[in-house]
A and B are shown apart, each in its own frame.
Chain A
Amino acid sequence: MTKDRSEILQGTLDLMVLQTLDAMGPLHGYGIARRIEQISEEVLRLNQGTIYASLVRLLQEGWVSGAWGVSENNRKAKFYSITRRGRKQLSAETENWERIAGVMGRVLQLTERR
């Protein structure tokens, strides 16, 4: 049970990272984490390190690619960008997510009405 939930969470984070990269173009880990927090209006306070586990998974799947560059504070940093395969995956996952969200919404409303 716990494993399933963490898998869903992982998947969610992966999806958020992909979406962020798709929308923003190349970003380093800090940038991605910051962006996700901003968009969620600081509701989602990440343990920012978890971003990296997500990035490794996405790299291994070939959905993002990474390249070394220089950050705003003149430090060496790795910049990630979404790949073509990643975009395809993103649209599929988005669709999937919306469907699930829709179903979940309806199911949850059902229970509320009781």
Chain B
Amino acid sequence: MFGWLRVAASRIRGWFTIRRLDEDFQQELDSHLALLTEENLRRGLVPEQARRAARLRLGGLTQLRETHRELQGLPWLETLIQDVRYALRTLRKNLGFTTVAVLTLALGIGANTAIFSVVEGVMLAPLPFSQPDRLMAIWESHPNAPHVWISYPNFRDWQRNARSFQQMVAFAWQGSGLTSPGTPEHVEGMFISAGFFNTLGVRPALGREFSPQEDQHGGAPVVMISHRLWRNRFAGSREALGKLMTLDGMGCTLVGVLPPGFDFEGVADVYRPLGQGDPLLLNNRAIHPGILAVARLNPGVSVSQAQEEMSTIQKNLDQLYPDADRDLGTDVVPLKQEIVGNVGRTLLLVLGAVGLVLLIACANFAGLLLARSAARTREFAVRLALGASRSRVVRQLLTESVLFSLGGGGLGLLVAMWGVKPVLAALPGNLPRSENIGVNFPVLLFTLGVSIAVGLLFGLAPALRSSKAELELSLKEGNRSSTRAHHRAQSGLVIVQMALTVVLLVGAGLLFRTIRHLWDVNPGFDPRHVITLKVGLSPQLTRTASGTRVACQQLIECIRRIPGVEAADFTNVVPLSRDDNDSPFWIGAHQATYSQAAPRLNLFWTGPNYLQTMKIPLLHGRLLTLEDTTNSPPVILVDTAFADTYFRGRDPVGETVTIAYWGTVQIIGVVGHVRHWGLGDVSQMPKSEPVYASFYQLADQWVPAFYGELTVMVRTPLPATTVMPAIRKVVYGTGKDQPVYNVRTMEEIIAQSLSPQRFPMILLGVFAGLALLLASIGIYGVISYSVAQRAREIGIRMALGADKREVFRIVIGQGLRLTLGGLVIGVAAALILTRLVTSWSSLVYGIGTTDPLTFIAVSLVLTGVAGLACYIPARRATKVDPMVALRYE
């Protein structure tokens, strides 16, 4: 049964020892001949005849040796090595050609390898947890918002009732001020339920995770930390377990350290029990304080079965607690999908775009091969005439083209290895799981596969073409019909390249116009010269609500006094940051029957000078002042969008609204609208509009929940590098243990909010540029080639009196005809694609996907660049000396 295996093994062995086997066989044949000769001598033949007869009996020695060799070794490997050797020799002889071909492919394959390594790391690689595809994220959902953070009481009910899951846990992001051991610092953190790491299948490197007793109000204060923090703060000592750490002024016992590199949707350094969070936020079913559930499916349970069960559970809750839960549903999402999010669609779009670049590079490559095979027609004709089989010649040519593409792939791999990380770092937006990106085995496999496929596919057509046995025709010099066919094929390739380039240029151009448009959109405030920063207020200062208020006020006073600072104040929600403070409300007596039916507003808790600091204009009424405190009637400012939506032409000033968890408040003024949800937000979902209240009117029991969210906005014409040291100094002046963190300019925040458009725009722009470069090389090659081929024709024309201008026009005209052909096809393709590829068209804002300006600009750029590429060969054509051209024939 394994006979073939034995034969294969013996052949492979034979291939390595072929030389010795050859010698052995020679000896064998020698002694055979000797024996035969002796036999013949015995029969009475004279020695000369005896030897001759012996040789005849044995058969042709060379042929015997050949057969023996073929049987012993691996003949195909031998031919392959021969082909490779021959190919390398020819490639080395045409160094210029080889360089261009390899570089072209390196660009195409390198760009694809780079993007694939990103797609692999972010989207394809499994999450680093055990059986990660069984892990789900569970959201609450609402008809107006597909994903709503869940309320803690709802989560507890899910956890109790759901049977589809082995475990269900929850978490919420929240950083902490870490004041000891070590220097005070703000650290990112998570509040997690007991069993969180067990659910993920991650074991602590040291110690344990939280027990259910710790995961509740009044439980022992405990903390788990990242491996990194453990190394930094405890020098990686095992003695660290049981030590106290001061977080937000509270002493917490260290019970566990996570394994190195643990990362859940972003890096956190401290983990505390979710159940110990603020009971005001956790015990109210109508409050959704940034909590998300994670659960592991039971074996055999499908996602849709789990979704069905969760819907039933939530429906029951809706009936039990209509005030808080009516209209709420659930959404069970695979955890990986949740973590990768919308980036996945963008990445696939980019992968598509870079695939087009590869196609363009391949078209160049095929064009180069065609041109080369045209030049080598005679070589092949000679080989065929000498008896080489067609398949042998094709194999030789394919070996050459695969060598090219492997060279290009190898070079491209280097580009991807060294290029991906710096490029990603330079691009806007944070890619989830980006630490996962690198050149690994799947990426290597991808590159190898693409290289070989490219070499075979794009080498095959030229190889078949040039191996066509038109013997007598090709052997004759200057065969017209085959060069014309070559030329047609090359022209077709150039048209395809041009069309693909148009598609990429249009894609990048429309995104570029979108971003230009978005930058021109007035956000509703003046984002220039504003620095935003957070301060971890000292725990000593924030023991009481009134103490916290004083600390905040002093901090702002001190910052305001710094020379160069024009204005400063704080807010709990930063515009365009994707944060919000969404709250149900009702106007006058129109109280909704249940909380989810009420309209919602976005409540900014601010210092009274926030609006002046941001230069949000007051249109009517008065601004907030320091006199608006807990002792005075509660007041808010609304913006024009809010006034238009809920008061429709009536003057809102003096009216009252009732805001959940606060009470009935009076509207004292109307201010300009701020586009909080994005400069280009066009979604049809009702959004909560901004209203502004004074932080100093926030009731005592809510102050602890909100002061940690405050961001200080500083308006100053000075650059951040100049003014930040002074700000740090005054912050440390009011309290030594107060870290300053999250320092960003408002313009950075706006740029960040544009990253969904900027990320693909930059990449598409780069790829469009690459495409343009490759396509212009392509058209340059074809036109140069055709000028060289037509030298005689041009010479005759000039001899017959055509002037240089006319020759120039003919050549340029030929190039422009190809460009125009590509342009027409490309524009048509772009018009269709912009409609079909919704992941891209959803990014376009403020202009139509058929924006004429973009299309005109693209046409001009393409024509201009193609014209330039044809200019050089056209010039060369005008310099043809008629005499030389004619004599050359």
Partner-B contacts on A (CB < 8 A): 28-30, 34, 47-50, 52-53, 56-57, 59-62, 71-73, 75-78
B contact residues vs A (CB 8 Å cutoff): 3, 6-7, 10-11, 24-25, 27-32, 34-36, 38-39, 57-61, 63-64, 67-68, 71-72
How far, in Å, is A65 (CB) from chain B's closest CB?
12
Q: Are A60 and B10 in contact (CB under 8 A)?
A: yes
Report chain A residues within 8 Å CB of B72: 56
In the complex, what distance in Å separates the CA atom of A59 from the CA atom of B39?
27
B171 to chain A minimum Cβ distance, whole angstroms, is: 64
Q: Are B31 and A28 in contact (CB under 8 A)?
A: yes
Q: Shortest beta-carbon distance, A55 to chain B, in Å?
A: 9
* A72 partner residues in chain B, CB cutoff 8 A: 35
| A78: chain B residues within 8 A (beta carbon) | 24, 27-28
* C-alpha spacing A34/B36, complex, angstroms: 9
Nearest CB on B from A83, distance (A):
12
Q: How far is the CA of A53 from the CA of B61 in the complex (A)?
A: 13
7 nearest A-B pairs in the assembled complex, by CB-CB distance: A49-B59, A75-B31, A47-B59, A30-B35, A49-B64, A60-B10, A77-B31
CB distance from B31 to the nearest CB of A (A): 4
Residue of A nearest to B13 (CB): A60
- Asked whether B67 lies within 8 Å of A48 as measured between CB atoms, the reply is no
Beta-carbon contact of B32 and A29 below 8 Å: yes
Q: Which of chain A's residues has its CB closest to B9's CB?
A: A60
Shortest Cβ distance from residue A8 to the other chain B in the assembled complex, whole angstroms: 18
Residue of B nearest to A71 (CB): B31
> Known pairs A28-B28, A30-B36, A49-B61. 13 more at Cβ < 8 A?
A29-B32, A34-B39, A48-B36, A50-B59, A52-B25, A52-B64, A59-B10, A60-B11, A73-B31, A73-B34, A75-B30, A75-B34, A77-B32
Q: Which of B25, B27, B36, B57: most chain A Cβ within 10 A?
A: B57
Q: Are A49 and B58 in contact (CB under 8 A)?
A: yes
For B7, list chain A residues within 8 Å (CB). 60-61
Q: Which of B27, B60, B61, B68 contacts A56 (CB 8 A)?
A: B68
Say yes or no: B68 contacts A61, CB within 8 Å.
no
Task: State A76–B28 Cα separation when bound (angstroms).
Answer: 8
Whether A28 and B71, one on each chain, are in contact in the complex, defined by CB atoms closer than 8 angstroms, is: no
Q: Are A30's CB and B31's CB within 8 A?
A: yes
Query: With the chains together, A49 CA to B64 CA distance in Å?
Result: 7
Q: Give the nearest-CB partner of A72 in chain B.
A: B35
Given A48-B57, A56-B68, A60-B6, CB of A28 within 8 Å of CB of B27? no
Do A29 and B28 touch across chains, with their CB atoms under 8 A apart?
yes
Residues of B within 8 A of A34 (CB): 39
CA distance A72 to B32 in the complex (A): 11
Closest chain B residue to A37 by CB distance? B57
Contact B58 A48, beta carbon cutoff 8 Å:
yes
Would B6 and A48 count as touching, CB distance under 8 A? no
Smallest beta-carbon distance B15→chain A, Å: 12
Of all chain B residues, the one with the shortest Cβ separation from A52 is B68
Distance, CA A34 to CA B32, complexed state (A):
11
Residues of A within 8 A of B34 (CB): 73, 75
Residues of B within 8 A of A50 (CB): 59
**Min CB distance, A59 to chain B, in Å?**
7
CB distance from B74 to the nearest CB of A (A): 12
- A60, A72, A76, most chain B CB atoms within 10 A: A60
Alpha-carbon gap, A29 to B27, bound state (A): 12
Q: In whole angstroms, what is the CA distance A53 to B32 when docked?
A: 14
A48–B59 touching, CB < 8 Å: yes
Cross-chain pairs A/B with CB under 8 angstroms, 14 sampled: A28-B32, A29-B28, A30-B32, A48-B32, A48-B59, A49-B63, A49-B64, A52-B25, A52-B68, A57-B71, A60-B71, A71-B35, A75-B35, A76-B31
Contact partner of A73 (CB less than 8 A), chosen from B25, B38, B57, B58, is B38
Determine the distance from Cα of A29 to Cα of B57 in the docked complex, in whole angstroms.
13
Q: Which residue in B6, B28, B36, B60 is a CB contact (below 8 Å) of A52?
A: B28
Give chain A residues whose Cβ lies under 8 Å from the Cβ of B10: 59-60
Expressed in whole angstroms, the Cα–Cα distance for A28 and B33 within the complex equals 12
- What's the least CB distance linking A11 to chain B, in Å? 14
**Using Cβ atoms and an 8 Å threshold, which residues of chain B touch A59?**
10
Please name all residues of chain A whose beta carbon is closer than 8 Å to the beta carbon of B67 when the two chains form the complex.
53
Q: Which of A28, A49, A53, A61 contacts B6 (CB 8 A)?
A: A61
Q: Which residue of B lies closest to A31 (CB)?
A: B35
Q: How far is the CA of A62 from the CA of B25 in the complex (A)?
A: 18
Min CB gap A73→B, angstroms:
6
**Interface core residue of B27, B58, B64 (most chain A CB under 10 Å):** B58
A76 x B27 contact (CB < 8 A): yes
- Residue numbers in A under 8 Å from B61 (CB-CB): 49
Partner of A47, one of B28, B58, B71: B58
Of all chain B residues, the one with the shortest Cβ separation from A49 is B59
Q: Which residues of A contact B11 (CB under 8 A)?
A: 60
The smallest C-beta distance from A64 to any residue of chain B, in angstroms, reads 12
A61 vs B10: C-alpha distance when bound (angstroms): 9
| Complex Cα spacing A49 to B27, Å | 13
B69 to A, closest residue via Cβ: A56
- Interface-centre pick from A56, A73, A77 (highest chain B CB count, 10 A): A56
Q: Which residues on A sit within 8 Å (CB–CB) of B35?
A: 28, 30, 71-73, 75
Question: What is the chain A residue whose CB lies nearest that of B25?
Answer: A52
A90: min CB distance to chain B, Å? 15
* Minimum CB–CB distance for A74 against chain B, Å: 10
The residue in chain B whose Cβ has the minimal distance to the Cβ of A63 is: B3
* Docked pose: A48 CA to B31 CA in angstroms: 13
CA distance A30 to B24 in the complex (A): 15
CB-defined contacts of B36 to chain A, threshold 8 Å: 30, 48
Bound CA–CA A21/B61 (angstroms): 24
* A71 / chain B contacts, CB cutoff of 8 Å: 31, 35
B31 touches A62 (CB 8 A): no
- Residues of B near A53 (CB, < 8 A) are 67-68, 71
Contacts of B3 in A (CB 8 A): 61
Nearest Cβ distance between residue A52 and chain B, in whole angstroms? 6
Q: How far is the CB of A24 from chain B (nearest CB, A)?
A: 16
> How far is A104 from B816 in the complex, measured between Cα atoms in Å?
75
